[in-house]
């Protein structure tokens, strides 16, 4: 995949691809160009067999401050932004690409994650936060509603009552609090954040990637299904997993009392 983006930094380390949103002067707020680049990078990562885990993060002191309000205001007065729901569909494309990607996507959040940046983090499969993280469903502060999937992700992660509170009051949630309420998988001291993120991602990249793709499908589909439907899908997906080299080699490795080596096949 190409790496010469204007507003993204791309780094590949083994099977881990790190995409860093890079507009630190505005806390990585989304303008149209960064949004288009992120869409392209995420869709390319999904297709790239060398990528077995994706980390999405922000440059500088923040993950992201949401929609760039200056470019939003300019787009509104020039008429470039027509119906806002059409503009927001561009964010939907990124969120859907993350959810359908057949490999794990981790949001690594330090500093602020506000508005649409927060919801893109919630749309990732897992989240690691530094203890300086600040999650803000900032939309209601400017008289908007959570978009980019916020209305879907929030109640599923933290329950309906807490989702209402976060969306309506739009208060900051710290990293440790986000871990306590289930908004993130883990929160680590800021000085350990980089290494903890690297280890988390590397562990996933070294895992049975094909099984992870099936796990994503099972869990996301099951969250919307009844038990019978989930059990039927489980059977279909386990038939696939059962035939993978990774499964067969892992059983041999177990019997030979050595650690398995997964190829993602």
Residue (117 or 209) nearer to ligand T3D, CB: 117
Rounded to a whole number of angstroms, the minimum distance from the CB of residue 97 to ligand T3D is 18
Give residues with Cβ within 8 angstroms of 159, minimum separation 6.
none
Note the helical H segments in the chain: 32-47, 69-78, 84-100, 115-123, 150-158, 160-169, 175-181, 193-205, 209-222, 227-242, 245-255
Nearer to ligand T3D, 63 or 193 (CB): 63
CB of 84 to ligand T3D, least distance (A): 4
Would you tell me which residues interact with ligand T3D (CB under 6 A)? 26-27, 29, 65-70, 72, 81, 84, 87-88, 112, 114-116, 136, 138-139, 141-142, 144, 147
Q: To the nearest whole angstrom, how small is the minimum distance from the Cβ of residue 24 to ligand T3D?
A: 9
Question: Phi and psi for 262 in degrees, rounded to 5?
Answer: -95, 140
Map 116-157 to HEC letters.
HHHHHHHHCCEEEEECCCEEECHHHHHCCCCCCCHHHHHHHH
26 vs 44, which CB is nearer to ligand T3D? 26
Backbone angles phi, psi at 59, to 5 degrees: -85, 150
Give the separation between CA 149 and CA 53, rounded to whole angstroms. Answer: 22
Question: Around 153, how many Cα atoms within 13 Å sit in the side-chain half-sphere?
Answer: 25
CB of 66 to ligand T3D, least distance (A): 3
Specify the residue, 93 or 198, whose C-beta has the smaller distance to ligand T3D.
93
Which CB atom, from 115 or from 264, has the smaller least distance to ligand T3D?
Answer: 115
Shortest Å, Cβ 163 to ligand T3D: 17
Quote the least distance from Cβ 141 to ligand T3D, whole Å. Answer: 6
Q: Which is nearer to ligand T3D, 141 or 265 (CB)?
A: 141
């Amino acid at each position: 995949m190409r790496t010469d983006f204007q507003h993204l930094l791309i780094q590949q380390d083994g099977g881990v691809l790190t995409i860093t949103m890079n507009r630190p002067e505005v806390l990585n707020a989304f303008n149209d160009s960064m949004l288009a680049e992120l869409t392209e990078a995420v869709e390319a990562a999904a297709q790239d067999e060398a990528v077995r885990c994706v980390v999405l993060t922000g440059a500088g002191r923040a993950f992201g401050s949401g929609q760039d309000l200056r470019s939003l205001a300019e787009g509104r007065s020039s008429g470039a932004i027509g119906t806002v729901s059409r503009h927001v569909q561009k964010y939907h494309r990124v969120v859907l690409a993350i959810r359908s990607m057949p490999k794990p996507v981790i949001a690594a959040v330090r500093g602020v994650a506000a508005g649409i940046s927060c919801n893109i983090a919630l749309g990732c499969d897992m989240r690691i936060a530094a203890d300086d993280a600040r999650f803000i469903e900032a939309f209601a502060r400017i008289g908007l509603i959570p978009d980019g999937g916020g209305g879907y992700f929030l109640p599923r992660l933290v329950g309906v009552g807490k989702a209402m509170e976060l969306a309506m009051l739009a208060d900051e949630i710290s990293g440790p609090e986000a871990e306590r309420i289930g908004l993130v998988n883990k929160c680590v001291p800021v000085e350990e954040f980089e290494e903890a993120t690297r280890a988390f991602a590397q562990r996933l990249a070294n895992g049975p990637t094909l099984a992870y793709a099936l796990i994503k499908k099972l869990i996301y589909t099951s969250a919307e299904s009844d038990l019978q439907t989930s059990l039927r899908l489980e059977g279909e997906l386990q038939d696939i997993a059962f035939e993978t080299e990774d499964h067969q080699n892992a059983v041999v490795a177990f019997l030979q009392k050595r650690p398995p080596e997964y190829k993602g096949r």
